[in-house]
Structure 1
Amino acid sequence: MPEFAAATDEDATAEAAAPEPHAPAAHSQTLSRGIRLLEILAETDEPMTIVELAAALVVHRSIAYRILRTLEDHGLVIRDSAGLVRLGPRLAALARAVSRDLQAAALPVLTRIANELGMTAFVAVLDRGEVVTLVSIESRQAHATVAQRPGTRHPLQWGAPGIAIQSGLNASEWAALGHADARRSQAGEVAGIGYASSHDEVIPGLSSIAVPLLVPGESPAALAVVYISSLHSPADIGAALTAAARAITAELG
C-alpha cells in the first residue's frame, strides 16, 4: 500500500516542536485520535473498514492506517482476512483492571439480582460528566434480555443511573463537573423514596431503576437494572437494589 508509506503526518511536526515558554502543555493529537478510534469501534456493533474509520476520525486514510497499525501492535484492535477492523482481546484484559475490586465485589451481586428480577443488572460510574457502564450481567431467567455492554456511555442528565449518581454529588462535586444544566429535580427525591427511575430516556421503550453506589476511593456510581417490562413494582426493585448496594459496599469494607 504505497500511499500509506509515502504519506506524512502533520502530528509529527506539531508534536516535535518545542513548546513556547509559559505556553500551556500541548496535547498529543495522535494519541487522542488513537483513543477516539477505539471509542468509535466500541460504539458500533459491526467491524469497520479503514476508509470508514478515516471518515469517522476526519483524517486521511494514511493517518488512520498508521494509528491502526500501532493499535494492532498492542493487540487493541485486530483486522480479519477481509481487512475489517474490530476491537482486540487485549482491551478486555485492560478493562478487567479498571476498578478491579469494585467489579469483583459487584459481579456475584449483579448475577443474583439479574436472575431474581429477570432483568439486566449493571454498575455505572461517573466519568467526566457522563455515565459509563462498568460491568453488567444479563438474566438467565428472562425470555428477552437487554444488552448493556460495559463501556456504554450516556450523558449524566439522562436515565435512572444518572439521576442516582447526581443524588450523591455535593455542591462542590457538581460544580467541578462544569455542568451548565441544572441538576435533575428527581435527584432530590432519591433520598426520600430510595431509588431513581426513568422510562424511554436512554433507550426508547426501556425502563430503568437505579440507586446510588458510594464506595470510598471509587468514582460516584449507581447500581441499576434495565428492562422491557416487569411484574415487580418500582418500589420492590428499588428495595432489592438498595440491599444489593449495601452488600457490595460491605464486601469492600
Structure 2
Amino acid sequence: MSTLQTLDRGLRALEVISQSPNGISVAELAKELDVHRAICYRIVATLEEHLLVARTEDGRVRLAVGLAVLASRFAPQFHLDARPLLKALANETHATAFISAAEGQSCVAEQVAEPDDQVLTVGYRVGSRHPLTRGAAGLAILALRPEEPGEPEAVRVARRDGYSLTRGELERGAVGVAAGIRVPARLGTATTVERSVGVVAIEGLDTETAAQAVLRTARQLEQLLSA
C-alpha cells in the first residue's frame, strides 16, 4: 500500500515531538526523522501554521494547543462533560472559571465559564494568552513538570501546595487560583496537551475555598480523561 511521504513525515514529527516535553531542536528532529534540516524546517513551519506545534524562545519545538482542538473533535465527550464541571466551579467560587493549555511558552484559555450571580467579572476569554510564568494558570502547568534549576519560586510553591495563587499579575486587582490537570500515562501521545483549571476574580475571592474547589475540579477532570 502506497503512502504520502510528506504526510507520513509530519505525523512522525508530531510523535517525536510528543516524546520531548522540554521541546526538541530542529536539528535533533531532522536526525530522528532522517531528513535534511531544510526539509525538517518546512515540516515544522507547516505544523506551526496549523497550530500543531510552537517554538520556544530558544527555538525548540513543542506541541501546541491546536492538537487539543483536534482531540476535542475526535473525543468530544470529555469537553462536553467538562462544561458543567467548569460552570459549577464558577458558581461555587463566584468567579470566572477556566481550563487553559500550554502552547510553547504561552498559556492559552481553552474553555471559560462565568458565574450566574456576578455582574463584574474578569475579562478572561477563550483564546486569551499570557506567558506560562505569569498568572495562576501557567504556573499550575509548570508545577506539573519535573523540577528545574532556576525555576521561579512561584512554581516551586505551586508544586508544594498543589495549586498556584497569584494576585494582580495579569490584571490589576485580579486574584487567580489554578491547579494542573494530570494526564494518564496511557494518554501520553501526540495529542497530549498540558492543562490547568482555575478561577479568577477581581475582588472578594475566598482563596482557601477556591483552592479546594479548584483541586476537586482538577481531580474530576482527570477522572474524565481516565474513563
Q: How does 1:167-178 map to 2 (within 5 A)?
A: 167-170=143-146
Match of residue 106, structure 2, among 117, 126, 130: 130
Structure 2: runs of 5 or more not aligned: 1-34, 52-68
Residues 138 and 145 of structure 1 are in contact (CA less than 8 Å); yes or no, is this contact kept in structure 2?
A: yes
The answer to whether the Cα contact below 8 Å between 2:175 and 2:205 also exists between their aligned partners in 1 is no
| CA–CA separation in structure 2 for the residues paired with 1:98 and 1:119 | 30
**TM-align CA RMSD:** 3.1
- For residues 131-171 of structure 1, the C-alpha deviation after alignment (integer angstroms, 9 at most, x for no partner) is 11111101111121223211111111111111111110125
* TM-score normalised per structure 2: 0.63
How has the CA–CA distance of structure 1 residues 193 and 32 changed in structure 2, closer, same or farther, with 3 Å as cutoff? Answer: closer
1:214: how far off?
1.2
Q: Alignment partner of 1:133: what SS? A: strand
Task: Name the TM-score, length of structure 1 as normaliser.
Answer: 0.57
Report the counterpart of residue 24 of structure 1 in structure 2: 38
Q: Is the 8 A contact 2:144 2:159 kept in 1?
A: no
Q: 2:135 is matched with which residue?
A: 159
2:223 matched to 1:250? Answer: yes
Aligned sequence identity (%): 25
CA–CA distance in 2 between the matches of 1:226 and 1:189? 19
1-side partners of 2:142 and 2:98: how far apart?
17
Separation of aligned partners in 2, 1:200 and 1:221:
21
1:55-87 deviations in Å (ceiling 9; x for gaps): xxxxxxxxxxxxxxxxxxxxxxxxxxxxxxxxx
Q: How does 1:25-104 map to 2 (within 5 A)?
A: 25=39, 26-27=41-42, 97=73, 100-104=76-80
**More relative contact order in 1 or in 2 (CA 8 Å, sep 6+)?**
2
Report the number of matched residues: 168
Unaligned runs of 5+ in 1: 1-20, 37-92, 175-180
**For residues 126 and 74 of structure 2, what CA distance do their matches in structure 1 show?**
11
Distance in 1 (CA, whole Å) between partners of 2:128 and 2:164 is 19
Change (3 A) 1:100 1:225: same
Provide closer, same or farther for how the CA distance between residues 199 and 187 of structure 1 changes in structure 2, counting only shifts above 3 A: same
Deviating beyond 6 angstroms after TM superposition, the runs of 4 or more aligned structure 1 residues are 30-36
Aligned to 2:122: 146
Structure-2 change in CA distance of 1:231 and 1:166 (3 Å): closer
C-alpha distance after superposition, 1:12-50 (max 9, x if no partner): xxxxxxxxx94512539x9799879xxxxxxxxxxxxxx
**Structure 1 residues 227 and 34 mapped into 2: Cα distance closer, same or farther (>3 Å)?**
same
